[in-house]
Structure 1
Amino acid sequence: MDASRPTVRRARVVGATVTYADRSASCRATVEAMLGEGVDHVVVIDNGSAPSSSSALETLRDAHAGVITLCRRPRNDGSAPAFSAALAEARRAGADLIWLLDDDNLPVPGALTALRRREQALRDAGRSVCAVAPTRSATAEPDVVARAIADDSAREPVRDAVAFAGVDTRVFVRRLLERTGLRRPRPARSSSLQSAPYGGLLIGSDVVQAIGAPDESFVLYGDDLEYTSRIPAAGGRLELVPEAVVVDPRGDRWMPPGFEVLAMFRSRNDALLYYFLRNRVVRELRSGPRWTTARVVNAGLFVVLCGACLVLTRRGDKARVILHAVRDGVTGRLGRRREL
């Protein structure tokens, strides 16, 4: 052995997930998949699970003694406090890198290796504040994964710095032209992201220290996007790794796919709609100047689209929830406002 060569310590990777309700079966599959990918330790936050599910999680912990840390919270206060606790526990477990997954996410074999390789490349290039995110696919079928990768590469992101309630006039017009066949989708020029979900995110413990903890006042929805948006805001790099794939089945959607404003009027859970929209408005207004001309134009388009969707659906109850969410978002009134 050459004593002159420095000893390089292997990075310790801690996986972390949050579960709730009666989801111990899917959580177990996620934990075992993380272990199969080679993480050194797993943190599970039991976010007010049902008693039977909590008992099953304890059995899982005991079956992997010393490898799983299980932390029970007495009630479900939302994803933001729970993922904040997950990050803190992962750091206490000695993590150099933290791999976050939702409790129904299943990484395709090799996902963690691909994420680690790209994260290290960013650090080697001088990007000490960085994180990487996977492609999220509904299934592991090759054609479905290929479509997810293609969609990610072709999707033009809404610009949070000028958008209002997810509406960006420039992107809206371009997508409309694409759907009518008047414009061909253009692949993204960069894998850089302005934000990313928790599910599949690989982030260094030092980065967590640099950007702080998630904002628990978001409660749920959008807290992950606000949190990860701090990385590029700090001059760092948040990057998509297409070859790293995590299956995200999405389950039973409370808001149907398709045109988002219309989907809000057709959603099935008013509390989730409220948090989803309120937190998005807050995040957008924090990401740039509050009321530029572009932002006002986008807010006007959002109002017009809501009016059209109200006429189409005749859902005045949804319009009231949307109005409440927007009002609280503009005034920055965060915290728990509706029962989960």
Structure 2
Amino acid sequence: MKVPEVRLIVVANQCSVAVEGYLTELACASENVSVELLAENRGSAGGYKTVIRNFLERTSCERLLLLDDDNELILDDVSVLSQSEVQAASAIFRPHRRIMRQIVAGYNPDILYPPQGSFLGFDVLYLVRKFFHLRFFQPNLPRSGLKEAPYSGLIIRRSVIDAVGYPSEKFFLYADDTDYTRRIVKRFGLIKIVSDASINELEQSWNSGLGSNSLLSRLRASDKSFRIYYSIRNRVNLDMNEAGKAGFPYFRYRINKAIYLSIFRVFLRAGLFSYILKAVFDGERERLGVEVNEKI
């Protein structure tokens, strides 16, 4: 039986001198470990793009498992990861993510994800339909899959990367994983969940609630920050492009945008509301990339 090649690729996004020293020692200790130290913070898009490029250029492995530095992989037997071999892409179960729990339980993904024409996950008809479906219908579908997924815990085949390319650095930070995995789903179908392993999120991402009914409460509890700016800007850009420039999804997007921003105006502080408006307008005008006024 052929022993599969296993390589560890570490990309550090502008880390401290102490961390650089530790990673350098780690790379020197094993030929199966490679480290790339980025001189500047290139965000999640640039960081994961570098990981994927290293995977393609420095290894002959067929599959790549992505993992954040603040995530812990939990599994009893590493062989469970090989069960995803037949899938184009798989995602390790994350118990803190409600949508993963619901899909594993047998709910229909078409009910769980906002439709084309939604705005920041908000759509009046979708929310009503979802409420009644989750309240009055029992999940009875065979386990399906995800329409989008975070980077961390994602298992992708080399052939998939060849087909869809790299994450888009125009997003820099937040929603770039949504864009990347949507491209995978569009080409290869739903991302299956590996439920015999799990990801423990040591630090919960602020963006993990974006697109759910917790967004308003998160914003009300927040001050201006790069997390809010990039999350809102990039998600709006995705929603706008998904809706298109004509037809029912376009008008649906405009109506949802008007309603949701009106709710923001009522419940958010004036300064924060103006800040969010800037992020919305930048997303719609394709003003992406690094925003010089937002300090990471």
- Under a length normalisation based on structure 2, what TM-score does the superposition of the two structures give? 0.83
Which SS does the other structure have where 1:103 is aligned? coil
Whole-Å separation in 2 of the counterparts to 1:146 and 1:311: 28
Root-mean-square deviation (CA, aligned residues, Å) is: 3.0
8 Å CA contact retained: 1:111, 1:245: no
Against the structure 1 CA distance between its residues 274 and 68, is the aligned structure 2 distance closer, same or farther, given a 3 Å change threshold?
A: same
SS in 2 for 1:101: coil
Which one scores higher on RCO, CA 8 angstroms, separation ≥ 6?
2
Aligned residues: 288
Whether 1:157 and 2:157 are equivalent positions in the alignment is no
* Cα displacement (A) at 1:334: 1.2
Q: Deviations over 1:197-246 (max 9, x none)?
A: 10100001121111111101110101111011111222444222233311
Tell me the TM-score normalized by structure 1: 0.74
Asked whether the 8 Å contact 1:115–1:133 carries over to 2, the reply is: no
Matching residue within 107, 117, 120 for 2:83:
117
Distance in 2 (alpha carbons) for counterparts of 1:325 and 1:282: 10
Residue 225 of structure 2: aligned partner? 270
Cα 1:164/1:253, change in 2 over 3 Å = closer
Structure 2 residue corresponding to 1:318, chosen from 247, 272, 293: 272
**Which residue identity lines up with residue 81 of structure 1 in the other structure?**
G
Where in structure 2 are the equivalents of 1:27-42 lying within 5 Å? 40-42=6-8
Read off the aligned partner of 2:295 and give its amino acid letter.
E
Q: Structure 1: any 5+ residue segments left out of the alignment?
A: 1-7, 13-39, 123-129, 139-144
**Which residue of structure 2 aligns with residue 84 of structure 1?**
49
Match of 2:158 in 1: 205
Question: Which of 18, 21, 29 lines up with 1:55 in the alignment?
Answer: 21
Please name the residue that 1:30 is paired with.
Answer: none
- Counterpart check, 1:282 vs 2:234: no
1:154-233 mapped onto 2 (5 Å cutoff):
154=107, 156-159=111-114, 161-177=116-132, 183-184=136-137, 186=139, 190-233=143-186
What is the DSSP-based 3-state SS (H/G/I as helix, E as strand, rest coil) of the residue aligned with 2:236?
helix
1:163–1:295 contact (8 Å) kept in structure 2: no
One-letter amino acid matched to 2:31: G
- Counterpart AA for 1:279: N
For 2:198 and 2:90, locate their aligned partners in 1 and report how far apart those are by CA, in whole Å.
Answer: 12
CA distance in 1, matches of 2:207, 2:184: 29
2:187 is matched with 234
Structure 1 CA distance for aligned equivalents of residues 9 and 31 of structure 2: 11
| Gap change, CA 1:268 and 1:331, over 3 Å in 2 | same
* Alpha carbons 2:207, 2:231 under 8 Å: kept: no
- Structure 1 match to 2:286: 332
Amino acid corresponding to residue 336 of structure 1 in structure 2:
V
Relative to 1, partners in 2 of residues 1:297 and 1:132: Cα closer, same or farther, differing over 3 Å?
same
Shift of 1:327: 1.1
Q: What's the counterpart of residue 251 of structure 2?
A: 296
Identity across matched positions, percent:
23
Deviation at 1:59, TM superposition (A): 2.8
Aligned to 1:74: 39
**What one-letter code is carried by the residue in structure 2 that aligns with 1:195?**
E
Residue 49 to residue 323, structure 1, CA distance change in 2 (3 Å): same
Native 8 Å contact 2:91 2:153 kept in 1: yes
- Determine helix, strand or coil for the equivalent of 1:221: coil
Aligned to 2:9: 43
Structure 1 residues 216 and 245: CA distance shift in structure 2, 3 A: same
* Aligned CA distance change for structure 1 residues 61 and 160 (closer, same or farther; 3 Å): farther
Question: CA-to-partner distance for each residue in 1:234-283, whole Å, 9 max, x for gaps?
Answer: 24442222333111233474898962134234324521111111111222
Secondary structure, counterpart of 2:112 in structure 1 = coil
**285-294 or 221-230, which deviates more:** 285-294
Change (3 A) 1:243 1:204: same
Distance 1:339 1:163, change over 3 A: same
CA distance in 1, matches of 2:259, 2:224: 23
The code of the aligned residue for 2:147 comes to Q
SS at match of 1:46: strand
